[in-house]
Amino acid sequence: MNQHQNLPSRSLNRDAWIRAAIDLLAKEGIAGLRVERLAHRLGVTKGSFYWHFKDRRDLHLAVLEHWKAGRIADIDKQTRCPSGTEAEQLLHVIDVYSASRNPRGILIELAVREWARRDEAAAAVVSEVDAVRLDRARRLFLACGLDEATATARAALLYAYVFGMSLLLLPVASHELEAMRRQIAQWIAACPSRTA
Amino acid sequence: MNQHQNLPSRSLNRDAWIRAAIDLLAKEGIAGLRVERLAHRLGVTKGSFYWHFKDRRDLHLAVLEHWKAGRIADIDKQTRCPSGTEAEQLLHVIDVYSASRNPRGILIELAVREWARRDEAAAAVVSEVDAVRLDRARRLFLACGLDEATATARAALLYAYVFGMSLLLLPVASHELEAMRRQIAQWIAACPSRTA
DNA sequence: TATCTTCCATACGATACCGTATGGTAAACC
DNA sequence: GGTTTACCATACGGTATCGTATGGAAGATA
């Protein structure tokens, strides 16, 4: 046992490896997530890695599970709101995925989606997360008074927009860009019942 | 000289390598664009590669230039239309970037943008292409009667949406998805002067 | 026919990485 | 104190890749 129970151990544990792996994934992409590089970053050798993980794939799957759990927990927080404030909450959801407000999260998001294009396990996790996100956003739109088809389409537009925006390299001055983002967010989150 | 002038040569030339490189880039990403794999795909060894290219970076830059020129030429074609048909043309632009209509182009687009997040030269090329795309779309919106700020924002939304959509893994049946895409395209391309 | 140019194959050293095998160390336990 | 356990270092074989050096073959040229 490590001292008693939950005290942070001096030595590395599986979770520390996973967190460091996500950092490296964000910076270098899945192709750069290499065992020996990760070990070097943590100041140890890969002897430590293979103590905590069976192989590289074991780490990959652990990273995906960790990411999925974190995303779903976040979605829960971001889409719960008092009745009547759904439109404002949708604006908040859009804001959370702005690269300027959450650069690290966006980098991880993009890295995982890039990964998902060439890895079935990653694709399955992204599908699950997308399904939850779409459902929660759709409910907010429904609460705003939109019909089923429109709510679903708006939810898809919302997430396509936020991720797509972080893919563009626009030649727009940053303060104008911020105003532009607000205008677009208003369009996407606009509801018949409230001007928001 | 190779026979006369423009007859396709039996042996490889720089352009054949670049085209094959873009195929491999689409499939494997920039990390998978390796000299020896590419040579193997072309049925030769890397001895040939290093005859046509100084090094791997030389190929990378050539790929970027080739892609940039192709994109800008495409944008020219896609955004030229008779006066009065701008709204329809915008719908066509959206359609062109649908993954179902142009899977290869989308894969290349995503691979280049992934590349651009970690490579300055790639980022510069993407910036140029985005600037041209944004400008042309903006002009179409202006011709529809939108004001400057709105036209710019709509153009950004248009491209963020099309690229973002190809990043999502939505749990929507494909025929419903098609209807949803049409509805979203109508929103984005909607103009005051025409219902489109 | 002899040579030259173009294009490619082969062989090489160097690096980075994977996964395994094995030894070492320090704390926990008895 | 001796042993066990958790964690890590080191060393190894194997693979993939980069870029270079060098030789060869086939067509163009003279």
Whole-number Å distance between alpha carbons of A90 and A173: 25
The pLDDT of residue A11: 79
The pLDDT of residue A18: 98
pLDDT tens track for A43-98: 999 999 999 999 999 999 999 999 999 999 999 999 999 999 999 999 999 999 99
Helix axes B56-78, B14-28, angle to 10 degrees: 80
Q: Which of A117, A129, A133, A178 should be substituted to probe chain B, the one whose Cβ sees the most B Cβ atoms within 10 Å?
A: A117
Question: Going by C-beta distance under 8 Å and a sequence separation of 6 or more, which residues neighbour residue B31?
Answer: A29, A31, A32
Report the nucleotide nearest the CA of residue A36, measured to C1': C17
Question: What is A14-189's CATH superfamily?
Answer: Tetracycline Repressor, domain 2 (1.10.357.10)
The pLDDT of residue B9: 58
The pLDDT of residue A9: 59
Question: Going by C-beta distance under 8 Å and a sequence separation of 6 or more, which residues neighbour residue B92?
Answer: B78
Report the nucleotide nearest the CA of residue A33, measured to C1': C17
Whole-number Å distance between alpha carbons of B24 and B31: 10
Tokens 């002009």, residue located: B139
Does position A8 have pLDDT exceeding 70, yes or no? no
Q: Which of A168, A174, A182, A186 should be substituted to probe chain B, the one whose Cβ sees the most B Cβ atoms within 10 Å?
A: A168
The pLDDT of residue A1: 38
Does position A40 have pLDDT exceeding 80, yes or no? yes
Does position A193 have pLDDT exceeding 90, yes or no? no
Whole-number Å distance between alpha carbons of B117 and B196: 36
Interchain proximity B180–A150, CB inside 8 Å: no
For residue A141, the SS3 value is helix
**Ramachandran quadrant class, A2 (left: phi over 0; alpha: psi -120 to 50; beta: rest):** beta
Mean of the per-residue pLDDT values of chain B = 93
Does position B134 have pLDDT exceeding 70, yes or no? yes
Q: What is the DSSP string of B128-140?
A: HHHHHHHHHHHHH
Within 7 Å: CB of B178 and strand D? no
Confidence of residue A2 (pLDDT cuts 50, 70, 90): very low
Six-digit token string for B20: 């094959």
The pLDDT of residue A195: 47
pLDDT tens track for A127-151: 999 999 999 999 999 999 999 999 9
Nearest CA among A119, A110, A111 for reference residue A163: A110
The pLDDT of residue B183: 97
Q: Is pLDDT larger for residue A61 or for residue B194?
A: A61
Within 7 Å: CB of A82 and strand C? no
Q: For the purposes of burial, counting CB atoms within 10 Å of the CB of B4, is it exposed (0-12), middle (13-18) or buried (19 or more)? A: exposed
For A110, the closest of B28, B117, B159 (CB atoms) is: B117
Mean of the per-residue pLDDT values of chain A = 93
Overall average pLDDT of the B37-57 stretch: 97
What share of chain B in percent tops pLDDT 70?
Answer: 93
The pLDDT of residue A92: 96
Overall average pLDDT of the B135-140 stretch: 97
Report the nucleotide nearest the CA of residue B53, measured to C1': D19
Confidence of residue A196 (pLDDT cuts 50, 70, 90): very low
Interchain proximity B131–A171, CB inside 8 Å: yes
The pLDDT of residue B97: 94
Overall average pLDDT of the B32-58 stretch: 98
Whole-number Å distance between alpha carbons of A88 and A67: 26
Span of A179-193, B132-146, B181-195 with lowest mean pLDDT: B181-195
Does position B195 have pLDDT exceeding 60, yes or no? no
pLDDT tens track for A152-192: 999 999 999 999 999 999 988 889 999 999 999 999 998 87
Within 7 Å: CB of A41 and strand C? no
Overall average pLDDT of the B67-93 stretch: 96
Interchain proximity A184–B31, CB inside 8 Å: no
